[in-house]
Amino acid sequence: MASQQRAERALHEAATGRSWTFGELLAWSDRSSAPPTGRVFPQGLGADFILEVLRGWRHGCCVCPLEVGQEAPRIPPPPPGMVHLKLTSASTGSARMVAFQAGQLAADPAHIVATMGLRPDWPNLGAISLAHSYGFSNLVLPLLLHGIPLVLAASSLPEALRRAAAGEPALTLPGVPALWRAWHEADAIPAGVRLAISAGAPLPLELERTVFQQRGVKIHNFYGSSECGGIAYDRSPQPRSDARSVGTAMQGVSLDVGADGCLRVRGPNVAETYWPDAAGPLGDGCFQTTDLAEFHGDELHLLGRAGDVIHVAGRKVAPEAIEQALRHHTAIRDCLVFG
């Protein structure tokens, strides 16, 4: 990618004002020293994270991104051919690592760029974690593999977002629901946002509609997992009418629902294995989620987690269904239902 866009801006760090062209990133990686071990652990919110990824790639090391302040895991070397390790969010159990081969890692940003329509003239504005699966696949990999420039904000705070967006006529802004609410309430959503994306948690309909009505910005709901990256995406230009909808399957990804009612994901983006404990619902290009799902035509609706189902008078009710009903009440802004 650098050879095709050598002189074009690739990376800008708002906190320091530093910028790199694609050619400069390539030259830096060529000059970088080999890591002392066969793994690198990029960490932080700034450009050094990107440079450490490049150093790992240049010297054939396995890359394992870490959150700020997170210690490197003590695990044995991954199996041969594994180039990337993700720490899972532990939302469905104890934390462990997910191992990817190069082709599996590269497939996810290819699907994202094709499905979402990421463009070099709409740089990504990075205000989310670069280490998390979402940020790595939507910000880091499109930069390094597809030439989508990246502007790094100093933090996710509204004022930092404003400063990073200053002078940028068109932007793509990935966020999470809590950030979108904070940015909206602080009147900090940049005027240049051409593509707005939300993942990491369910996007409330009320927030999606309010931002659309007041700012003309459609926030696109995005659903994924550490084990495979992007799964489904709301391509619609209008706000959704059903909070359960997460859009349609990502380009290149195949979805179906198993006999247990849970979603299954197949595609070249699915990871190779868990590590160091390989046991789990992952392998042979298929990831078995614990998300209860159903299809309405091509549109995927999530009904809750299999382990969270509440049994009431012989019937199974997902907490999310109760939450959705409660949120329709004018006196309720948000709620959380426990079994």
Rounded-to-integer distance, Cα 294 and Cα 287, Å: 17
314: confidence class by pLDDT, cuts 50, 70, 90: very low
| Residue in 177, 62, 188, 89 with CA at minimum distance from that of residue 128 | 177
Tokens of 24: 């400069």
DSSP state of 243: T
Beta bridge partners of 101: 82
List the single range of 10-14, 213-217, 279-283 with lowest mean pLDDT.
279-283
Domains in the chain (CATH in brackets) are 9-307 (3.40.50.12780), 309-339 (no CATH)
Does 320 score more than 70 pLDDT?
Answer: no
Helix (H, G, I), strand (E, B) or coil at 203: coil
* Predicted confidence (pLDDT) at residue 235 exceeds the cutoff of 70: yes
Measured in whole angstroms, the distance separating CA 187 from the mean position of its chain's CA atoms is: 24
- pLDDT confidence bin for 334, thresholds 50/70/90: confident
Q: What is the pLDDT of residue 66?
A: 96
Residue 233 reports pLDDT greater than 70: yes
Mean pLDDT of 198-202: 96
Q: Judge contact between 253 and 238, C-beta under 8 A.
A: no
Residue 12 scores a pLDDT above 50: yes
Residue 318 has pLDDT above 60, yes or no: no
SS3 96: coil
Q: What is the pLDDT of residues 291-300, one digit of tens each?
A: 999 999 999 9
CA atoms within 13 A on the CB side of 23: 6
* CA torsion through residues 238, 242, 243, 245, sign: negative
- The tokens describing 65, both together, are 């991104």
pLDDT mean over 92-104: 82
Of 6-10, 119-123, 171-175, 249-253, the least confident: 6-10
Quickly list DSSP for 75-121: -PPPPTTEEEEEE---TTSS--EEEEEHHHHHHHHHHHHHHHT--TT
DSSP 8-state class, residue 68 = T
> What confidence tens digit (pLDDT) does each residue in 269-297 have?
999 999 988 888 999 999 999 999 999 99
Query: Which DSSP letter does residue 245 get?
Result: B
